[in-house]
Copies of this chain bind each other. A is one copy, B any other.
């Protein structure tokens, strides 16, 4: 997932002003929003962090809210793609298999897009952009609850638990990793996904054979 250390040349088209193109501004903005809080971060703070004038930043972006919207869309587009795929009722796959798959792929998205997902998970609904993001999150949550309910209905998951509560807790566990996951940390994404699946579906207790 990381490309650090790669010596491969990068395409010139996005690198006219190295480090100061729109993608770089967005990356730095998201990092600042996560560190200081979105409301407490000004475009002046962002300019200072980038070593640019505010005018130079406004050459690339129209507002702080545009940066927020782009970061939230980045996270939401990825998560929506994963959930859309899981909801496709393909021949030969069970809801249970698709639920396990969406759990694993969510971990991949959280790791690959950790800064924008972190921002998404902290959104409180303080503006139109935030409310729209919360609306999209709710849609995802509803689909995941449907998938849990389908896995219960087909007999794969125990039926004595409310699907809406299970999906909140299961993806609460998945989402928690944005708070502590580090690319250079003790655990790699594959191990994390394995252990989440093991906890959620098999349980930690040593089952007597």
Contacts and interface: CB of A to CB of B under 8 A. Distances in A.
Q: Which of A38, A173, A192, A201 has the most CB of B within 10 A?
A: A173
Contacts of A180: 168, 172
Contact of A204 (B35, B155, B166, B206): B166
A172 B161 contact: no
Contacts of A179: 121, 172
A169 B157 contact: no
Nearest to A36: B39
B157 A205 contact: yes
Given A126-B35, A205-B201, A176 B186 contact: no
A44 interface: no
Contacts of A35: 124, 126
A182 to B, nearest CB: 12
A109 interface: no
Interface in A7-40: 34-40
B169 A173 contact: yes
Contacts of A196: 169
A195 interface: yes
Nearest to A148: B204
Nearest to A160: B198
Interface in A169-209: 169-173, 175-177, 179-180, 186-187, 191-192, 195-196, 198-207
A162 B121 CA distance: 26
Interface in A53-79: none
A164 interface: yes
Contacts of A157: 204-206
Given A168-B176, A169-B195, A169-B196, A156 B206 contact: yes
Nearest to A186: B164
Q: Which of A192, A204, A205 has the most CB of B within 10 A?
A: A204
7 contacts: A35-B124, A37-B40, A39-B40, A162-B195, A165-B191, A169-B196, A170-B199
